[in-house]
Chain A
Amino acid sequence: MTGLWWSMLAVSIVVIVFVTVMGGWGIVKGRRRREEDIERNVPWGDRFILISGIGVTGAILVAFFLVSLRAMSTLARARPSNLEITITGHDWWWEARYPNGAVTANEIHIPAGERVHVDLRSADVIHSLWVPELAPKIDLIPGRANEMWIQADHPGQYRGQCAEYCGLQHAHMIFFVVADTPADFQTWMKDMAAPAPDPSTALAVQGQQVFLSNTCIGCHAIRGTPAAGQLGPDLTHMATRSTIGAGTVPLSPQTLEQWILAPDQIKPGVTMPPTALTGEQVRALVAYLLTLGFEQPS
């Protein structure tokens, strides 16, 4: 893939330089020519056009095609994969489901150095999964079962973003692929599949009550509680995530409070409605939500 890019770039630069130099040279040389001396017929003209226009151009293009075909088959070849995850695009966030039942949103952990098979689904309109540093993009199209493979050679965090225009908040449909060492990944996946921890402080207990007795449960699930909504992100371990609103703002007590009260202020057009909670209720709810997590390897 990188070979394809650098060879195409190099040839492109040569072509641009050649056209500029030959055109420029022709203009400069022609300035001294007298109009009477211009020959109507250029004997070498047709030969030049055919050799360079069809011969050389054609050879370069066919060579590019073959190199490109090889890169394509390398990328597209279905390979055995130890891990298959399902990513579903929603307006405007990403849901990731793992084979052991773990569900998360907008932060997709994978084991570094392994090829991961991704099933691409859409819950509404067409989206496109694009992590520029890891893989070419493939669209998530309602009614179609698309798939791709991604691989991160080194542990780290890789930024991705929806690439297919999907409406109002296409700009804020951001996600991160987090590549962990395989051991860390296994731990993460196990922890992520576990139910949410019970709240331990009085404030958090109160927050859980707020959550369960309000409209939150219509859309959000917290495994281990009666909340089982499916429209919004699964919040079972939401405190492990670093952003709110699919990468729109960093997660902090302040941003979470603002988000709960008026998400539209942070992400105009977002499908989550504003919430009519008292200040006390919101603080309790935030305290509860921020307990939803587990220790992650740093």
Chain B
Amino acid sequence: MTTLAEPLEELWSEEPGLGTWLSTVDHKRLAKKYLYTALAFLILGGIEASIMRLQLAHSNLKLLDPETFNQLFTMHGITMVFLFSVPVFSGFGVYMIPLMIGTREMAFPRLNAFTYWGFLAAGLFMYSSFLIGRAPDAGWFNYTPLADKPFAGGVNIDFYALGLIFLGISTTGTAINFLTTILKMRAPGMTLNRMPIFVWGELAMQVSLLFAQPALTLATVMLMLQRHWHWHFFDPGAGGDNLLWQHLFWIFGHPLVYIIVLPGLGILATILPTFARRPMVGYTWVVLAEMATAFIGFGVWVHHMFATDLPAMSISFISLTSFLVAIPSGIQVFAWLATLVTGKTILKTPMLFVLGFILIFVIGGVSGVMAASVPFDQATTDSYFVVAHFHYIMAGVAIFPVLAAIYYWGPKIWGRMLHEGWGKVSFWLVFVGFNLAFFPMHILGLLGMPRRTYTYQSGLGWDSYNLVETIGTFIMGIGILISFVNWAWSVRHGERAGNDPWKSETLEWATSSPPPDYDFETIPEVRSLHPTWDQPELKDGAQPPDQGGRPLAEGHRVLATSMLDATPEAIVDMPHESLWPFFLVVGLTVFFYGALVRIAIVAAVGGIATAISVLGWIWPRGQTQEM
């Protein structure tokens, strides 16, 4: 089969150099950019959290003034949600999905480059607000009228609104790219019921994102119109309504929770069977549960607004859906348990992170069920109880499965094993630190401590819990840093991983580590839900043509297949490196800065650069696009 490797290498490799660093469309290179960028934002968000925890370690501390604290908690939320959690799961998806479904690229490679650069640029755009001391300061939820001109005259909120519109362009592109890739590019034979659960999780995530994002973009555009052009969507004095912002924000914001949770559960469901040495029990139910969560997730947004005095009938309905959305989670928990009970658990680092997360997810789940109750929520909403709840779910799913994935897929991505001993040290520090940091928040909330306060008074019995939380935060931070150092050391000095160090079931382990530029020598024919376990002929990413492998070595090509049954439909020529996606993002960045400073000429230059880049991108280049 090595006869194929050479022409494929020729076809799929990219020229080395700075130019390619900007113009690459390779899903693996872009995915690494996604991961490095998202993890850098995790560090920034973590630094923000640590500074806030120092300020809150004791009552009446004056480390931060209120304005700085408000900017920090706002940017902490924006960072952790938009700039870390969502992109980190997109990053793992961009790397793993083409490998897991047995193809060679994402469906739209240049769009993939564009969405990465767009994410980076939108993140830097929002962070540039710190340079002038004007970071967004109305919370990541940015309620009006606090975020409206009379109460927020500065550019802080403009950074927020324009930054999220910008980022929304990128995430929409990502969603389209993922959906097309997953639905149209699976290797022949990978019918929907042979699709790995991680890919299902990513599918559920990106479907939700595609439908949720417009509400946020709409809300932020309306906010900009109201702030600068005298519109009155959220102004009760002129017939608007402040609750409109809340509805639009949470119609986006609650599905967003599942946008983050579902791929995390997908990672869990990938790692768990590997280290329980058996297939997931109840695969179909787990998949249905993920999709059901994504669907029901659109019908619960008003539980963020139980204290706004809406009619009892409507909040009762949302209370019911909020209770019921726990059923799919219950299904998954019991499937994990059944898998553990019938398997042979191997306690390697990725599995420790997964097991730790199961407990954290269950704790966050039961507190979420409590908050589905209207009277209970009215008592605890906007208190630290809710902070505890959503950190158990959202920080839990963005820390534990992500670290698990770094230990699990790191060997595939960088070709070397991460150090196991330090991995375990890191796990225990993160697990203990996490619970010390977030569990006492439940109690503080029940004691009456509201969220988003830059300080609190002494004598209320809140000091010791807060101190424990601060200590826990730093223990957790040290644990995460140990994993980062472990990773940085291991990618150079770690043990060589080989193709399949964990003896896993999914296709990415059938090729080498790291995979070649073309991912697979032949596009495999998939005959099982566990191809790497059940199809020994897949060795080294080269299924012999007489056993179903398709070389597709005559050009820079991938195979398009049907949505349900993955029967071959077309051969698609894929684009090569291109600088246009990067230029397009530069154009958009100039445009958004122009809109920020409200200088029409700057925005116009950005708009023209954007238009030219789009033209350059779509300009026909004489390649045959159809077969």
Q: Are B316 and A69 in contact (CB under 8 A)?
A: yes
Contact present for A38 and B323 (CB under 8 Å): no
Binding site for B on A (CB under 8 A): 1, 4-5, 8-9, 11-12, 15-16, 19-20, 22-23, 25-27, 29-31, 33-35, 38-40, 42, 44-46, 48-50, 52-54, 57-58, 61-62, 64-65, 67-69, 71-73, 75-76, 120, 124-126, 128, 130, 132-133, 136-139, 141-144, 146-148, 159, 161-171, 174, 247, 268-269
Chain A residues with Cβ below 8 Å from B146 are: 125-126, 165-167
Q: What are 8 A-B pairs at a CB distance below 8 A? A: A19-B358, A22-B337, A30-B344, A54-B331, A126-B145, A138-B378, A141-B309, A165-B139
CB distance from B460 to the nearest CB of A (A): 8
Is B572 on the interface with A (CB-CB < 8 A)? no
Query: Is B341 a contact partner of A30 (Cβ separation < 8 A)?
Result: yes
For residue A174, which residues in chain B have a CB less than 8 angstroms away from its CB?
457
Which residues of the other chain, B, contact A171 by a CB distance below 8 angstroms?
Answer: 66, 453-456
Chain B interface size, as a band, is 35 or more
CA distance A142 to B446 in the complex (A): 27
Residue contact B307 to A136, C-beta cutoff 8 Å: yes
- Within B40-85, which residues are at the interface with A (CB < 8 Å)? 65-67, 70
- Cα distance A163–B345 in the bound complex, in angstroms: 45
Q: Are A141 and B139 in contact (CB under 8 A)?
A: no
Question: A45 CA to B463 CA in the complex, in Å?
Answer: 47
**Is the Cβ of B143 less than 8 Å from the Cβ of A68?**
no
Provide the bound-state CA to CA distance between A45 and B341, in Å: 10
A132 with B341, Cβ < 8 A, contacts A23-B358, A146-B309 known = no
Contact call B308/A139, Cβ cutoff below 8 A: yes
Question: Which of the segments B164-172, B221-229, B279-287, B611-619 contacts the partner chain?
Answer: B279-287
> A1 — which chain B residues lie within 8 A by C-beta?
375, 379
B378's nearest neighbour on chain A, judged by CB, is: A136
Question: When the two chains form their complex, are residues B309 and A45 in contact, meaning their CB atoms are under 8 A apart?
Answer: no
Query: Which 7 A-B pairs give the minimum distances between C-beta atoms?
Result: A143-B236, A136-B378, A26-B341, A57-B330, A53-B331, A171-B453, A68-B373
Flag if B370 contacts A45 (CB, 8 Å): no
Q: When the two chains form their complex, are residues A68 and B379 in contact, meaning their CB atoms are under 8 A apart?
A: no
Complex contact A147–B309 (CB within 8 A): yes
Cβ–Cβ contact B341 & A138, under 8 A: no
Q: Chain B residue with minimal CB distance to A62? A: B323
Choose from A40, A124, A169 the contact partner of B66 (Cβ within 8 Å): A169
Most buried by A among B307, B372, B456: B307
Contacts of B370 in A (CB 8 A): 5, 8-9, 12
Q: Are A53 and B335 in contact (CB under 8 A)?
A: yes
> A4 CA to B319 CA in the complex, in Å?
14
Take A30-B343, A68-B376 as given contacts and tell me if A49 and B312 are in contact as well, using a CB distance cutoff of 8 Å.
Answer: no
| Proximity string of chain B (154-174) to chain A, C-beta cutoff 8 Å, 1 when within and 0 when not | 000000000000000000000
Q: Which of A19, A49, A165 contacts B282 (CB 8 A)?
A: A49
A61 touches B342 (CB 8 A): no
How distant is the Cα of A91 from the Cα of B393 in the complex, in angstroms?
33
- A26 near B340 with CB under 8 A, answer yes
CB pair B362–A168 under 8 Å, yes or no, is: no
Whether B309 contacts A139 by the Cβ 8 Å rule is yes
Residues of A within 8 A of B243 (CB): 141, 144
The yes or no answer to B324 lying at the interface (CB within 8 A) is yes
A48 touches B338 (CB 8 A): yes
Q: How far is the CB of A228 from chain B (nearest CB, A)?
A: 24
Q: How far is the CB of A130 from chain B (nearest CB, A)?
A: 7
Contact A26 B337 (CB under 8 A): yes
Within 8 Å by CB of A42, from B281, B285, B323, B327, lies B281
- Shortest beta-carbon distance from B92 to chain A in Å: 25
Bound Cα distance from A35 to B455, whole angstroms: 55
List CB contacts (< 8 Å) of B279-310 with chain A: 279, 281-282, 285, 289, 307-309
Partner of B309, one of A64, A133, A138, A163: A138
Bound complex: CA of A166 vs CA of B450, how far in Å?
Answer: 12
Is B527 part of the binding interface, using a Cβ–Cβ cutoff of 8 Å?
no
Instruction: Report the minimal beta-carbon distance from B577 to chain A, rounded to whole angstroms.
Output: 44
How many Å lie between the Cα of A26 and that of B278 in the bound state?
Answer: 13
Given contacts A1-B375, A19-B359, contact A48 B334 (CB under 8 A): yes
User: A2 to nearest B CB, angstroms?
Assistant: 11
Q: Are A53 and B333 in contact (CB under 8 A)?
A: yes
Q: How far is the CB of A200 from chain B (nearest CB, A)?
A: 35
Whether A23 contacts B379 in the complex (CB less than 8 A), given A38-B278, A49-B281, comes out as no
Complex Cα–Cα for A73 and B316 (A): 10
Residue of A23, A133, A165 most packed against chain B (CB within 10 A): A165
B443 near A: Cβ within 8 Å? no
> Quick check: is B471 within 8 A (CB to CB) of the other chain?
no
Q: Is residue B276 contacting chain A, with contact meaning CB distance below 8 A?
A: yes
Fill in one digit per residue for B368-393: 1 if any A CB lies within 8 Å of its CB, else 0. 01101111101101110000000000
Docked-complex contact B359 and A20, CB < 8 angstroms: yes
Query: Which residues of B sit under 8 angstroms from A40, Cβ to Cβ?
Result: 278-279
Chain B residues with Cβ below 8 Å from A72 are 312, 316, 319, 373-375
Minimal beta-carbon separation of B22 from chain A (angstroms)? 40
Once bound together, how far apart are the Cα atoms of A23 and B363, in whole Å? 14
Which of B66, B70, B316, B327 is within 8 Å of A53, CB to CB?
B327
Contact status B374-A68, CB under 8 Å:
yes
Shortest A23–chain B CB gap in Å is 5
Contact B366 A4 (CB under 8 A): no
Q: In the bound complex, how far is the Cα of B347 from the Cα of A163, in angstroms?
A: 43
CB distance from B49 to the nearest CB of A (A): 17
Is A126's CB under 8 angstroms from B143's CB?
yes
Residues of B439-476 contacting chain A, CB below 8 A: 446-448, 450-457, 460
The yes or no answer to B432 lying at the interface (CB within 8 A) is no
Residues of B within 8 A of A61 (CB): 323-324, 326-327, 369
Q: Closest residue of chain A to B150, judged by CB?
A: A124
Docked Cα-Cα span, A191 to B531, in Å, equals: 83
CA distance A119 to B345 in the complex (A): 59
- Complex-state Cα separation, A88 to B184, whole angstroms: 57
Bound-state Cα–Cα, A9 to B380, Å: 14
B460 surroundings in chain A (CB, below 8 A): 159
B412 at the interface (CB under 8 A from A): no
CB distance from B136 to the nearest CB of A (A): 13
Picked from A53, A68, A141, the residue with its CB within 8 Å of the CB of B375 is A68
Please tell me if the beta carbons of B331 and A162 are within 8 angstroms of each other in the complex. no
Report the minimum CB–CB distance from A45 to chain B (whole Å): 4
Given contacts A136-B379, A171-B455, contact A19 B338 (CB under 8 A): no
Question: Is B175 among interface residues, defined by CB-CB distance under 8 A?
Answer: no
Q: Across the two chains, which residue of chain A brings its CB closest to B382?
A: A163
**Inter-chain contact B366/A53, CB cutoff 8 Å:** no
Known: A61-B369, A132-B446, A144-B236. 20 other contacts (CB 8 A): A5-B376, A19-B333, A22-B340, A26-B341, A27-B340, A33-B344, A42-B342, A53-B289, A68-B319, A68-B374, A68-B376, A124-B145, A132-B379, A138-B309, A141-B242, A144-B242, A144-B309, A147-B309, A163-B450, A168-B70
**Which residues of chain B have C-beta atoms less than 8 A from A139's C-beta?**
307-309
With A38-B278, A161-B450 as contacts: A142 and B236 at CB distance below 8 Å: yes
Q: A46-B282, A53-B285, A161-B450 are in contact. Are A22 and B341 (CB under 8 A)?
A: yes
The verdict on A49 contacting B341 (CB below 8 Å), with A54-B327, A165-B146, A269-B66 known, is no
